[in-house]
Each structure stands twice: as C-alpha cells, then as structure tokens.
C-alpha cells in the first residue's frame, strides 16, 4: 500500500507550545550545563497508508490553516537546523495514529465515489528542529529529555532532512538493529537518577540508582539502557528477586 508523508507545524510568529515547553525543560533539567539552543521549533509528522485517492482531503482535514501550515513530503526548514524525529518503535501502540486513521476514514466516507481511497495504518512522530548547538549537544538533549528508548526510536539529521516514507515495521531497514544506548548516569544528580528510573519504568528507588551510579563510576563508564533494564528486572520492586 502506498505511504504518504505529511508534516505540519505552527505558522511563523505564532506560539509553539511544545517548543516552548521543551526549551523550558532543557533549561530546567539540564541547568547551568544546558546547551544554549538558539531556536527550537516542532512539527507533527504522519506516515499515512492510502490505497487510492483522497490524500489531499486528509491533509486538509488535519491542518488548521489559521494557525498551521503543512505539506505532503517535507516542509522547508529555513537554514540548516538539526532535525530530531521521535516516533514509536515497531509494535508499540500508536494511539494518536489510530485516532488519525479513524478521522481519515470519516473524511473519505463523505467523499464522492471514485475520490475515496482505503486507509491503512497511520504512524505518527514528533520532529524537533534545533539551531545553534552541536550534534553532541543535540544528542544529549535527545537522550535525556526527548525520548524513551524502551518504546521510542529517533533519528538525528541535518536539514534538509530526508523525506522518508518507510513506516516503523519490525524488520524494516529504518529500524535500528537492537542497539543499545548509553545512559549518562555518572553525570546525573539525584533528581536525574529518579527521572531515569521513572521514565524508563525501572521501578528502582533513589538508593538503588545511586548504588548503580557508584558502581559504574568505579568502572569508568556509563551503563547501557540494556544493562539498566537487566538490573531492574532482577532488582526492582516489581520482581520477586528483590
């Protein structure tokens, strides 16, 4: 089934609530060492499976033309910001995608005969466009604040970004192989440790997270997300071995 890519963003000059919230989180959670992001914008990205006609009708239904602009394919970025795209891993339920699919089906149900295709799955993602910082700083912001590696995956590109239309399916080439990511545990304070446990659904308390941090400080490296998950499965309160 053909796949169409749709990007939507807030019009220039209007408030971008998610971008403002993300900038606030960068400054609040990363403190004095926070990267000095010159500009941050966000977009919604949809990959829509559609057999037949009607993608323009779906596009128009998803965009609020008063406050938003959108395009099939990619929107121009203006400059060369870093583009961080965060979406669900293959097999993870995409509730927003399901809602958009139902809305798209409703839109096409009112179309004239011959102008209504069949909607398959819809895959959603959030795009963050950041300027004024290095790739290493972008990776730090992404790893610590923008995604949960247990259920989400991300890509980092320099604009102009690729107009990929490959959905996140199990075994697809767009899916990173069961890769592990370093969790910068040694640099985190107590609040950061608690956040890692909470967002990673590790069910480890502060004392346990401190013990893990101390162990890896002795090793001279940070743990991977897989190592933390293994510790959580054998040590946390939801496991009988604790």
CATH class of 3-158: alpha beta
Structure tokens at 63: 């965009």
pLDDT tens, 35-66? 788 889 999 999 999 988 889 999 999 999 99
Beta bridge partners of 68: 10
pLDDT tens, 184-204? 999 999 999 999 988 888 889
Cα–Cα dist 125/168, whole Å: 10
Contacts for 206 with CB less than 8 Å, ≥ 6 apart: 190, 193, 194, 197
What is the pLDDT tens value at each position of the chain, 242 positions in all? Answer: 899 999 999 999 999 999 999 988 888 877 766 778 888 999 999 999 998 888 999 999 999 999 999 999 988 888 788 999 999 998 898 999 999 999 999 989 887 666 677 899 999 999 999 988 888 888 988 988 899 988 999 999 988 777 777 777 765 544 444 456 789 999 999 999 999 988 888 889 999 999 999 999 999 999 988 889 888 887 755 554 45
Domain assignments of the chain as residue spans, ordered by start? 3-158, 185-235
Contacts for 168 with CB less than 8 Å, ≥ 6 apart: 87, 88, 89, 90, 123, 153, 174, 175
CATH-assigned architecture of domain 185-235? Orthogonal Bundle (1.10)
């Amino acid at each position: 089934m053909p796949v169409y890519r749709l990007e939507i963003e807030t019009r220039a000059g209007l408030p971008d609530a998610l971008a403002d919230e993300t900038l606030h989180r960068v400054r609040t959670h990363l403190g004095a060492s926070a990267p000095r992001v010159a500009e941050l914008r966000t977009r919604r990205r949809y990959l829509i499976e559609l057999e037949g006609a009607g993608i323009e009708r779906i596009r128009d239904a998803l965009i609020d033309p008063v406050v938003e602009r959108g395009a099939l394919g990619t929107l121009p970025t203006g400059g060369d910001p870093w583009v961080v795209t965060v979406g669900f891993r293959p097999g993870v339920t995409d509730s927003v995608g399901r809602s958009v699919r139902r809305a798209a089906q409703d839109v096409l149900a009112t179309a004239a005969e011959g102008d209504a295709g069949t909607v398959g799955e819809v895959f959603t993602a959030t795009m963050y466009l950041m300027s004024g910082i290095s790739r290493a700083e972008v990776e730090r912001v992404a790893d610590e604040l923008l995604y949960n590696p247990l259920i989400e995956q991300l890509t980092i590109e320099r604009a102009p970004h690729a107009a990929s239309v490959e959905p996140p399916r199990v075994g697809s080439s767009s899916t990173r192989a069961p890769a592990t990511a370093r969790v910068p545990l040694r640099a985190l304070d107590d609040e950061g440790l608690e956040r890692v446990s909470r967002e990673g659904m590790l069910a480890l308390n502060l004392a346990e997270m401190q013990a893990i941090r101390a162990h890896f400080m002795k090793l001279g490296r940070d743990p991977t997300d897989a190592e933390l998950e293994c510790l959580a499965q054998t040590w946390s309160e939801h496991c009988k071995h604790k």
